[in-house]
A and B are shown apart, each in its own frame.
Chain A
């Protein structure tokens, strides 16, 4: 079954909770604030990091196998489950019931889950394995 993103219903987001810069000089007499014309919403990380609210999940990385890709132990990963798995994407995979984060390499007749650390071996996914690409990692948040 091939499912493409062909659906076109969008509902207005009426519950947007992100802050809005409030300019209160509206009614007072005198010279109005010149900033009032540039009344824009405040910057929100949510809007940048979360493209699809319903399918976005967060997870903490536990281990060092992906440090080459910038995912260090303890980093928080933003995962979007609605994105299609593609070659070279970093994905949260579920192999035989266990979660792991790896880069997907699709070869002609098989799939590899490739770590980004020389000390770890790529996992070759064979027919005996059960692989679910759970979601695609879109951002990594780290504390410095």
Chain B
């Protein structure tokens, strides 16, 4: 048996843990830089605030409808997420954290007489211990547990937030209820194709006469999904691994039009990527630079630009990665154009200790020592004061966070203050 545990409106729920007066009130959370809405409480959804809406477009509406607005507070959400995962581990040792707010659990080899009851205990415990509301779906496969989860979330009164698909009858009823666009792995593009083929529900997806079409469109991935929805488990838990790509991208406050300014940004993004690689003790093989022009001021339709280069050796040195990124930027940057966004992405990530050594090209061994000094200094002071020559010392790594709540659990200065009046 598998389960999918999903935290309801996770970011909004995290804000409420330390501000209980917001329980029952509408809340929205904004993305990095206070760009657009990325999480809404049920109350905000009911008021018709759309997901993904840019903040400036709905600012007046938010104010008029008395909706509480927060900047994203990732240190807080990350801490609560890891607490949720740890508590789930006390119910089964087999757990795959799937995202910050959901996890797959597997109960093979455990004798649990009543999964609904067991799920209720999990839900109650996360509510009582952390004030995080969750929905839980149980089924024989991962894909079906996603379906069961959706039902639990959609019908809280009837299911009490826990739904178990444990009979053939329930499975078919659930598949007929599930719209094709809500099936795990069916994105926007596939959804359109499915609809054109008259596949409107998860049930239609499993019908024998659609098999050839699914095979053609989705290949082995589609067949796996079909088996999963039929109740034959083919996907196991993916155990947590280090991330496969690291991306640092930012929209600029204003415009960037000069090469020097852009070089500074790209170099900074590259050093932060390298820093993250070193933190998880890995190296990368590829560096990608991404630029985005102002889409309203470009004549051509093309406004996103990517370039990738493979490093001759695996690296996590800020100097190496920054040099490569700046070299690529030189070939991409067009003087006189207006740029709105840029980023550096590193891929081909491998553990530091599995690095292949090369005969002719190798990283300058001095980098390793230098990076250690930089990392130690940053760890000790929390400031990135040691930087590369093409970075701007004055510039600080600051995002627009006008509605930030406190770091209640990760910064001692910010712990909860409780009135004793």
Measured CB to CB, the residues of A under 8 A from B are 1, 3, 7, 9-11, 53-55, 57-66, 71, 73, 76-77, 81-82, 92, 94, 97-101, 115, 120, 132, 134
Contact = CB atoms under 8 A, between A and B. Distances in A.
A11 B93 contact: yes
18 contacts: A7-B90, A9-B90, A9-B91, A9-B93, A54-B129, A55-B83, A57-B415, A59-B415, A59-B416, A59-B417, A62-B418, A62-B420, A63-B419, A71-B420, A82-B129, A99-B418, A101-B418, A115-B420
A144 B21 CA distance: 34
B80 to A, nearest CB: 10
Contact of B418 (A7, A11, A60): A60
A54 B86 contact: yes
A3 B21 CA distance: 26
B201 to A, nearest CB: 34
A76 to B, nearest CB: 7
Nearest to B413: A60
A12 B398 CA distance: 39
Interface stretch (B29-37, B118-126, B341-349): B118-126
A59 B124 CA distance: 24
Interface string B84-121: 00110111110000000000000000000000000011
A3 B421 contact: no
A1 B124 contact: yes
B419 A100 contact: yes
Contacts of A81: 128-130
Contacts of B408: 57
A120 B130 CA distance: 30
Interface string B21-33: 1110000000000
B87 A97 contact: no
Contacts of A58: 412, 415-416
B20 interface: yes
B409 interface: yes
Contacts of A54: 83, 86-87, 129-130
Contacts of A60: 415-418
A63 B20 contact: no
Nearest to A67: B420
Nearest to B408: A57
6 interchain residue pairs of minimum CB distance: A97-B21, A63-B420, A59-B416, A65-B420, A54-B83, A54-B86
B125 A3 contact: yes
A1 B127 CA distance: 13
Nearest to A80: B129
B128 A97 contact: no
A64 B420 contact: yes
Interface string B19-60: 011110000000000000000000000000000000000000
Interface in B115-161: 120-121, 124-125, 128-131
Most chain A CB inside 10 Å of its own CB: which residue of B121, B125, B421: B421
Contacts of B89: 9, 11
A132 B19 CA distance: 13
Interface in B246-303: none
A78 B294 CA distance: 51
Contacts of B21: 97-98
Most chain A CB inside 10 Å of its own CB: which residue of B83, B89, B412, B418: B418
A66 B420 CA distance: 6
Nearest to A8: B90
Contacts of B129: 54-55, 81-82
Contacts of B130: 54-55, 81
Contacts of A98: 20-21, 419
Contact of A59 (B20, B125, B418): B418
Nearest to A81: B129
Given A97-B21, A99-B419, 7 more contacts: A3-B125, A9-B93, A54-B87, A64-B420, A99-B20, A99-B418, A100-B419
